[in-house]
Amino acid sequence: MSLNLNLEDPSAVASLIDHTLLKPDAREADVTQLCEEALRWNFASVCVNPYWVPLCASVLAGSPVNICTVIGFPLGANAPVIKLAEAEHALQSGAQELDLVQNIGALRSGQLASVDKEIEDLARRVHHAGSLLKVILETSLLTDEEIVLSCRLAVRAGADFVKTSTGFSGGGATKAHVALLRQAVGLAIGVKASGGIRTLAVLREMVSAGANRIGSSSGIAILNELAAAGTGAAAPEGGY
């Protein structure tokens, strides 16, 4: 995990980005285009709803672009057995990274053993498949104390990343919350900033606060902004 990337380098910026399309009205053609864009720009992954994982697996077969999907999205309130089944299906369909929405209500009710076990069970299954687990905390709904507690539970339970937001519940990433996540987890695991990251300046702000992965639907706009500043190239000639 590197926090010392050259953010003047387009390839370094692209390597941070989960190229994201989670809108409920996204069509097959939109998801296919997302994958083709990820290949062209060399993004870290595409992040899609679970239904589209098989399509992404087909389009991205043999490429270095990972397939990320969401579990218990966007509320986190599904029963643990449903989240585990959803994760199992996603892994069997070709997902390599799973972004799990923690049970926010359970956490805020003090049901910490339940939150911990849910993440631990998911992490064990995900790691058995050689994949990554990111835990979405939904920071806009939590106090700072609850954020720190969520981070500690995620680390203990074996998550690979903590993530700020779904982008669907009242607020996205903030510099202060990213810094708090990084402070809480140290260098033990990754920090993903997601929600409202649409410009190069905001991406750089999130990385400076401690993020080493960015979820955004504006990755191409961000890279074109870098190119316009004279420090990068426009669209790459090929893909991987």
**147: which 2 tokens?**
């954020």
**190: which 2 tokens?**
């990754």
Provide the 10 A C-beta neighbour count for residue 52: 24
Whether residue 78 contacts residue 97, with contact meaning beta carbons closer than 8 Å, is answered with no
Alpha helix (H) residue ranges in the chain: 10-14, 28-41, 53-59, 80-93, 104-108, 112-128, 144-157, 175-185, 200-209, 219-228
Asked about 9 being catalytic, the answer comes back as: no
Please name every residue paired with 18 in a beta bridge, in sequence order, or none if there are none.
45, 215
Please name every residue paired with 97 in a beta bridge, in sequence order, or none if there are none.
68, 132
Of the listed 18, 83, 160, 192, which one is catalytic? 192
* DSSP secondary structure code for residue 14 in this structure: H
Whether residue 129 contacts residue 100, with contact meaning beta carbons closer than 8 Å, is answered with no
Q: What is the CA radius of gyration of the chain?
A: 17
Of the listed 18, 99, 116, 160, which one is catalytic? 99
Distance, in Å, from the CA atom of 74 to the CA atom of 10, rounded to the nearest integer, reads: 31
Residue type present at position 136: I
Asked about 192 being catalytic, the answer comes back as: yes
Which of the residues are catalytic?
99, 163, 192
